[in-house]
Structure 1
Amino acid sequence: MARLQAYRRLAARHLHAADFLLVYIEEAHPSDGWVSTDSPYQIPRHQSLQDRLAAAQLMLQGAPGCRVAADTMSNASNAAYGAYFERLYVILEGEVVYQGGRGPEGYSISELRVWLERYERHRTDSSPLQLIIPPLSQH
């Protein structure tokens, strides 16, 4: 949950430079499965898309300016982007220009913050933009 709060702060700080989207995927620690002790919510495994949409609504709380989408029940977005269970991406003009590491260990809000700050400088003073894209085989 602390990571979500950090993401929300980052999004609020950079809303003028980017559109932010949370894609809610399958629940990593469902209350009827591998339970996390620090989870503020009791969300059981999703049995239907309606279950997943209801859980995704929780992500909207305290996230001004962030849009939320829900993955399909076949977990197509999760598989395509290699989230398992959290990952950060920047997509610019339809192309992935930043791919963070897989969560939880590779998930780095501070790395994304640095990238966004560089991007904003690049937009204002035409300084070189450094893309951070690990090889696709890592996802």
Structure 2
Amino acid sequence: MNALYEKYKDDVEFLLVYIREAHPTDGRQVPVNEREGILLPTAKTLEQKEEHATQCVLKLDIKFTTLVDNLDNQVELNYTAFPDRLYLIGKDGRVAWKGRPGPRGFRPAELEAAIQKELAR
């Protein structure tokens, strides 16, 4: 995603919305998180969620703006975003492209094709 950001940052606003920890320690933990030391409980406060988002940004070296969903997870619910999903909002403010749910559906190359199509409009 950082490569797409660098390529299109003058024409497209990139945002990451941190919704919630996909594998919290008080939920379904996965071995890769244990190996990499990603051991975060479900956030109980907005401050905890913001700290989790900060750790995510640092771990993944995200170069663009990151926002944090509220504790009610309204962005996650409105965009069916769990565990992760790519969207392109068009010039008209409507969804121009919606990727499939991640991680298997997380396909930046498809997003890039949608960006090129939208910019050509």
TM-score range, shorter chain: 0.7 to 0.9
Specify the alignment match of 2:2 in structure 1: 8
CA RMSD of aligned residues (A): 1.7
Specify the alignment match of 1:52 in structure 2: 49
- Tell me the alpha carbon deviations over residues 86-124 of structure 1, each in whole angstroms, 9 at most, x when there is no partner: 11111123211111112223221111122223344x1xx
Specify the alignment match of 1:132 in structure 2: none
Q: Contact 1:100/1:108 (CA < 8 Å) preserved in 2?
A: yes
CA distance in 2 between counterparts of 1:21 and 1:59 reads: 14
The aligned runs of 1:17-56 (5 Å cut-off) are 17-39=11-33, 40=36, 41-56=38-53
Q: Contact 1:27/1:43 (CA < 8 Å) preserved in 2?
A: yes
Q: Contact 1:59/1:68 (CA < 8 Å) preserved in 2?
A: no
Match 1:75 to one of 47, 54, 73: 73
Secondary structure of the residue aligned to 1:105 is: coil
**Cα pair distance change 1:95/1:46, threshold 3 Å:** same
| Alignment length (residue pairs) | 115
Secondary structure of the residue aligned to 2:31 is: coil
Task: State the identity %.
Answer: 28
**Cα pair distance change 1:104/1:63, threshold 3 Å:** closer
TM-score, normalised by the number of residues in structure 1: 0.74
Unmatched tracts of structure 2, length 5 or more: none
CA distance in 2 between counterparts of 1:58 and 1:118 reads: 33
Secondary structure of the residue aligned to 1:107 is: coil
The one-letter code matched in structure 2 to 1:78 is E
TM-score, normalised by the number of residues in structure 2: 0.83
CA distance in 2 between counterparts of 1:59 and 1:99 reads: 22
Match 2:83 to one of 85, 104, 126: 85
